[in-house]
């Protein structure tokens, strides 16, 4: 066990994967000598060589497209897209190719690759260093989407994602990178995909969040507890395929749900979550489902803390939902 932050835990997971499995290799911009702009891959090129930790030219199409080819031919590439905001030049490769290869070859070919990418705001990054594009990928059949909130889960989920036979997008909450530390086993271990975690049991309102907003949901839950409202907080961990049972059974108990995410509201993942709850627990609902999200504008700079669905916006949503 070592106390690690999120950056160190992911680094430890990558190191374990490179040691355990010689088909694993890392690719991305500035990930080698620099160790990545957030230092997540620090020391790995030195340890495993430039053949396994590739500093690529500046092309997300190149990174993701060649990773697909390598995955088709026996390797397990783990790619890094420097910021989630810069994934779009490679969007076609992910959405048209990685996602659909298995289906269009009736399973004869498949693409076991991982796309790691920092996402989210609150770091004074403005429009193009702050976005949360998870919904675009969740809506693409064939892609799995993971978003850990803490160092322990990050390492375990990453190792599971690397072992997974399907392409996995792994969104890293950059706001949490150095903000949280916890004990993490030094040896490799896995955390299964598709299992949410109840991080705070409660009886009156279900609050679903992931990544950096999990902490805001938790803070808000503690705050409203002081006012007599008991909130159950669920950390989704894997966004897709979703652990729908954990959410639905929670709502069957509480009758109320508040979903929190940074991405804009319209067609955000929150919309899908409340639709699922409406379909599966309609008769148990005691209040309209609520979404606390980023506004439907591009991500701003000066007022980013008013844009983000931080605790100050979650608290009233929880109170209103509880008292509906």
Partner 1 sequence: MHVIRDDGSLDPTLDPGLSVDQVVALYKAMVRTRVVDDRLEKIQRQGRIAFHVGSLGEEAAIIGAAAALRDRDWIVPCYREVGALLWRGYPLQQYIDHMYGNADDPLRGRQMPDHTFSRAHRYLSVSAPIGTQIPHAVGVAMAAKKRGLDECVGVFFGDGATSSNDFHAAMNFAAVYEAPVLFLCRNNGYAISLPTQRQTATRTLAEKAAAYRIPAARIDGNDVLAVWRAVREGAERAANQGGPTFIELITYRLGGHSTSDDPRVYRSQEETDSWRKLDPLLRLRKHIEQRTAWNDDLDGDWRAVCDAEVKECVRRAEEKPPPELGDMFGDVYAEQPWHLREQQAQCLGGPRASDEEDES
Ligand X SMILES: Cc1ncc(C[n+]2csc(CCOP(=O)(O)OP(=O)(O)O)c2C)c(N)n1
Nearer to partner 1, 50 or 275 (CB): 50
Nearer to ligand X, 86 or 295 (CB): 86
What is the per-residue binding string for ligand X in 62-101, x denoting contact by CB under 6 A? --------------------x---x--x------------
**Torsional sign, CA 298, 299, 305, 309:** positive
Nearer to partner 1, 203 or 296 (CB): 296
Q: Least distance in Å: CB of 60 to ligand X?
A: 6
Using the rule CB under 6 A, is 34 a contact of ligand X?
A: no
Strand 231-235 vs strand 238-240: parallel, antiparallel, or unpaired? unpaired
Nearer to ligand X, 20 or 33 (CB): 33
Strand 144-146 vs strand 168-173: parallel, antiparallel, or unpaired? parallel
Reading the block at residue 127, the tokens are 């429009």
C-alpha closest to that of 152 among 202, 187, 194, 115:
187
Task: Give 189-245 as a DSSP string.
Answer: ----TT--EEEE--SSEEEEE-TTHHHHHHHHHHHHHTTT--EEEEE-SEEES--HH
Q: Least distance in Å: CB of 291 to partner 1?
A: 11
In the complex, the residues that contact partner 1 under the rule CB under 8 A are 29-30, 32-35, 37, 55, 57-59, 61-62, 85-86, 88-89, 124-129, 265-266, 295-298, 300-303, 305-308, 310-313, 315-316
Q: Please choose which of ligand X, partner 1, none residue 306 contacts, taking the beta carbon within 5 to 8 angstroms, the exact cut-off set by kind.
A: partner 1
Q: Please choose which of partner 1, ligand X, none residue 61 contacts, taking the beta carbon within 5 to 8 angstroms, the exact cut-off set by kind.
A: partner 1
Nearer to partner 1, 48 or 152 (CB): 48
Q: Is 110 annotated in the active site?
A: no
Q: Which of 129, 261, 305, 312 is catalytic?
A: 129
Indicate the residue whose CB is closest to ligand X: 86
**HEC profile of 77-126:** EEEECCCHHHCHHHHHHHHHHHCCHHHHCCCCCCCCCEEEEEECCCCCCC
Cβ proximity of 286 and 155 under 8 Å: no
C-alpha closest to that of 270 among 237, 241, 293, 250:
293
Using the rule CB under 6 A, is 58 a contact of ligand X?
A: yes
Strands of the sheet with 290-294, listed across from one edge: 197-200, 231-235, 205-209, 257-264, 290-294
Reading the block at residue 137, the tokens are 């990928």
Q: Please choose which of ligand X, partner 1, none residue 151 contacts, taking the beta carbon within 5 to 8 angstroms, the exact cut-off set by kind.
A: none
Candidate residues 4, 29, 125, 263; the one interacting with ligand X per rule CB under 6 A: 29
Q: List contacts with ligand X (CB under 6 A).
A: 29, 58, 60, 82, 86, 89
Q: Which residues are catalytic?
A: 129
């Amino acid at each position: 066990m070592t106390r690690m932050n999120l950056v160190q835990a992911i680094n430890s997971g990558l190191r374990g994967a490179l040691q355990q499995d010689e088909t694993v290799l890392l690719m991305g911009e500035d990930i080698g000598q620099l160790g990545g702009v957030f230092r997540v891959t620090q020391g790995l090129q030195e340890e495993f060589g430039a053949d396994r930790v590739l500093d690529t030219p500046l092309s997300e199409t190149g990174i993701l497209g060649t990773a697909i080819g390598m995955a088709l031919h026996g390797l397990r590439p783990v790619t890094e897209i420097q910021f989630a905001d810069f994934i779009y030049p490679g969007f076609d490769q992910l959405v048209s190719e990685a996602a659909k290869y298995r289906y269009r070859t009736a399973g004869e070919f498949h693409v076991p690759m991982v796309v790691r990418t920092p996402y989210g705001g609150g770091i004074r990054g403005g429009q193009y260093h702050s976005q949360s594009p998870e919904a675009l990928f969740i809506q693409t059949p064939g892609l799995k989407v993971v978003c850990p909130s803490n160092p322990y889960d990050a390492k375990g989920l990453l190792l599971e994602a690397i072992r997974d036979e399907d392409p996995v997008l792994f969104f890293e909450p950059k706001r949490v990178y150095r903000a949280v530390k916890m004990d993490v086993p030094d040896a490799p271990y896995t955390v299964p995909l598709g299992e949410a975690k109840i991080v705070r049991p409660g009886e009156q309102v279900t609050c679903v969040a992931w990544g950096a907003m999990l902490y805001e949901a938790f803070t808000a839950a503690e705050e409203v507890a002081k006012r007599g409202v008991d909130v159950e907080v669920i950390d989704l961990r894997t966004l897709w395929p979703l652990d729908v049972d954990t959410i639905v059974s929670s709502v069957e108990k509480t009758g109320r749900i508040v979903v929190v995410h940074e991405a804009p509201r319209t067609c955000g993942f929150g919309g899908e979550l409340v639709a699922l709850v409406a379909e599966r627990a309609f008769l148990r609902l005691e209040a309209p489902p609520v979404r606390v999200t980023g506004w439907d504008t591009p991500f701003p700079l000066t007022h980013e803390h008013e844009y983000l669905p931080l605790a100050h916006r979650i608290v009233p949503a929880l109170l209103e939902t509880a008292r509906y």
